[in-house]
């Protein structure tokens, strides 16, 4: 007996605050905190229009991290996988052709036999 289940059910996330999942809510709060902190830090140095753009640009990455999924991984899982791949476990990939048939024909027993044949053929030609 087979029961078919829709694929959307695997992507279900429970809404915690304001229709957002807990992860999305935490990153949204971090984005708001970054914008507010930057506003009070830079208010004496810039005008309102420049300051508003700076706050938007500083908060955008934090807000986006809560919603990004790449190959089924959340942003922090992807970042950890990228760091491990690039820095913690770097590898050099070298192409080395391996012809199993050629290796089987050039085993030491075959080499001795080939040398003997060449030697016998050389004796016949003389």
Q: Which structural domain, as residue segments, surrounds residue 14? A: 7-92
In a domain, 30, yes or no: yes
Domain count across the chain? 1
Q: How confident is residue 36, by pLDDT bands cut at 50, 70 and 90?
A: very high
Residue 121 lies in a domain: no
pTM of the predicted model, to two decimals? 0.54
Q: What is the DSSP string of 19-49?
A: TB-HHHHHHHHHHHHHHHHHHHHHTTTS-HH
In a domain, 122, yes or no: no
What local confidence, expressed as pLDDT, does residue 12 receive?
A: 61
Backbone torsions φ then ψ of 12, nearest 5 degrees: -70, 135
Quote the tokens at residue 92.
């050099």
Q: Assess whether pLDDT exceeds 90 at residue 117.
A: no
């Amino acid at each position: 007996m087979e029961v078919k289940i829709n694929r959307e059910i695997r992507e279900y996330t429970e809404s915690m605050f304001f229709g957002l999942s807990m992860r999305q809510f935490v990153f949204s709060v971090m984005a708001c905190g970054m914008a507010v902190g930057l506003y009070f830090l830079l208010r004496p140095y810039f005008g309102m229009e420049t300051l508003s753009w700076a706050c938007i640009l500083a908060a955008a990455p934090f807000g986006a991290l809560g919603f990004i999924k790449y190959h089924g991984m959340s942003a922090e899982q992807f970042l950890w996988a990228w760091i491990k791949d690039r820095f913690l476990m770097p590898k050099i990939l070298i192409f080395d052709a391996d012809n199993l048939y050629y290796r089987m024909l050039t085993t030491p027993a075959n080499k001795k036999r080939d040398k003997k044949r060449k030697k016998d053929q050389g004796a016949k030609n003389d």
